[in-house]
Chain A
Amino acid sequence: MRRTMSASRLLKIVVLGLALASAAMAAQTPAQIGKDIGNKVICLCGCQTSLNDCPMPHCDEKAAERHLISMDLAEGKAEPVILQDLVNKYGERVLAAPPAHGFNLTAWFLPGVGLLIGLFLAITIVRRWHRPAVQAAATPAVPLDGNLRSAVENEMKKYID
Chain B
Amino acid sequence: MNQVGAVGLIAALVFAVYGMITGAAAGKLRSPRMLKSAQRAVLGFFAMTTLAVVSLEYLVLTNNFHSAYVAEYSSRALPVLYKIPVLWAGQQGSLLFWTWLLSIYVAAAVLLNRKKNRQLMPYIIAISMGVGTFFSMVTFSVANPFNELNLASASGVTPYAPPDGNGLNPALQFHSMVAHPPMLYLGYVGMAIPFAFAMSALMTRQLGDNWIRVTRRWVMVPWMFLGIGIVLGGQWAYHVLGWGGYWAWDPVENASLLPWLAGTAFLHSVMIQEKRGMLKVWNMVLVILTFFLSIFGTFLTRSGIISSVHAFAKSDIGPWFSVFLAIIAAFSLTVLFLRLDFLKSENRLDSIASRESGFLFNNWILLAAVLAVLWGTIFPVISKAIENVTVTVGPPFFNKVMIPIGLLLLFLTGAGPMLAWRKTSFQSIKRNFTFPLIFAAVVGGVIFYAGVHRLYTWMSLFLCAFVAASIVAEFYKGARTRMKSSKENFFAALYNLTMRNTRRYGGYVVHFGIVLLFVGFAGQAFRYETQGLMGPGDLLRAKNYLFRCEGISTGQKANYQYETVDLSVTKDGHALTVMHPERRFYMAEQQPISHIALRSNLAQDLYVVTEGTDPNSGKAIIHVIINPLVQWVWIGGMVILLGTILALIPSSIERQMGKLHKDQEEAVAAHHVG
Residue of B nearest to A119 (CB): B364
Q: Contact string, A64-92, partner B, CB cutoff 8 A, digits 1/0?
A: 00000000000000000000000000011
Residue of A nearest to B394 (CB): A96
A92 contacts which chain B residues (CB < 8 A)?
389-392
The answer to whether B372 and A161 touch across the interface, beta carbons within 8 angstroms, is no
- Is A3 an interface residue, CB under 8 A from the partner? no
Residue of B nearest to A98 (CB): B391
* Cβ-neighbour of A118 out of B244, B367, B383, B501 (below 8 A): B367
- Is A11 an interface residue, CB under 8 A from the partner? no
* Cβ-neighbour of A161 out of B241, B243, B397, B500 (below 8 A): B500
Residues of A31-65 at the interface with B, using a CB-CB cut-off of 8 Å, are: 39-40, 42, 46-50, 53-55, 57-58
The answer to whether B478 and A111 touch across the interface, beta carbons within 8 angstroms, is no
The answer to whether A121 and B386 touch across the interface, beta carbons within 8 angstroms, is no
* Cβ-neighbour of B309 out of A48, A94, A159 (below 8 A): A48
The answer to whether B612 and A91 touch across the interface, beta carbons within 8 angstroms, is no
- Is A126 an interface residue, CB under 8 A from the partner? yes
Q: How large is the interface on B (under 10, 10 to 19, 20 to 34, 35 or more residues)?
A: 35 or more
- Is B551 an interface residue, CB under 8 A from the partner? no
Stretch at the interface among A22-30, A128-136, A144-152: A128-136
The answer to whether B309 and A47 touch across the interface, beta carbons within 8 angstroms, is yes
- Is B245 an interface residue, CB under 8 A from the partner? yes
B345 contacts which chain A residues (CB < 8 A)?
129
CA distance A125 to B278 in the complex (A): 12
CA distance A93 to B392 in the complex (A): 5
The answer to whether B372 and A130 touch across the interface, beta carbons within 8 angstroms, is no
The answer to whether B500 and A111 touch across the interface, beta carbons within 8 angstroms, is no
**Number of A interface residues in the complex (CB < 8 A):** 48
- Is A8 an interface residue, CB under 8 A from the partner? no
CA distance A114 to B348 in the complex (A): 26
Q: Contact string, B244-269, partner A, CB cutoff 8 A, digits 1/0?
A: 11001010000000000000000000
Return A137 CB to nearest CB of chain B, in Å: 17
- Is B335 an interface residue, CB under 8 A from the partner? no
A127 contacts which chain B residues (CB < 8 A)?
352
- Is B350 an interface residue, CB under 8 A from the partner? yes
Residues of B330-373 at the interface with A, using a CB-CB cut-off of 8 Å, are: 345, 348-352, 357, 360-361, 363-364, 367-368, 371-372
A118 contacts which chain B residues (CB < 8 A)?
364, 367-368, 371
The answer to whether B583 and A57 touch across the interface, beta carbons within 8 angstroms, is yes
The answer to whether A111 and B481 touch across the interface, beta carbons within 8 angstroms, is no
Return A116 CB to nearest CB of chain B, in Å: 9
Residue of B nearest to A104 (CB): B391
Residue of B nearest to A103 (CB): B387
Return A15 CB to nearest CB of chain B, in Å: 17
Knowing A58-B612, A159-B653, A160-B481 are in contact, say whether A96-B395 is a contact too (CB < 8 A): yes
Q: Contact string, B408-422, partner A, CB cutoff 8 A, digits 1/0?
A: 000000000000000
The answer to whether A103 and B386 touch across the interface, beta carbons within 8 angstroms, is yes
A55 contacts which chain B residues (CB < 8 A)?
241-243, 594, 609, 611
Chain A residues engaging chain B, CB cutoff 8 angstroms: 39-40, 42, 46-50, 53-55, 57-58, 91-98, 102-104, 106-108, 110-112, 114-115, 118-119, 121-122, 125-127, 129-131, 133, 157-161
- Supply 7 A–B pairs (Cβ within 8 Å), ascending by A: A55-B609, A95-B392, A107-B391, A115-B372, A122-B360, A161-B497, A161-B501
Query: Can you add 17 more A-B contacts, CB < 8 Å, to A111-B371, A112-B401?
Result: A53-B245, A55-B609, A57-B594, A91-B390, A93-B391, A93-B392, A98-B383, A103-B383, A103-B387, A108-B401, A115-B405, A121-B364, A122-B361, A126-B349, A131-B349, A161-B478, A161-B481
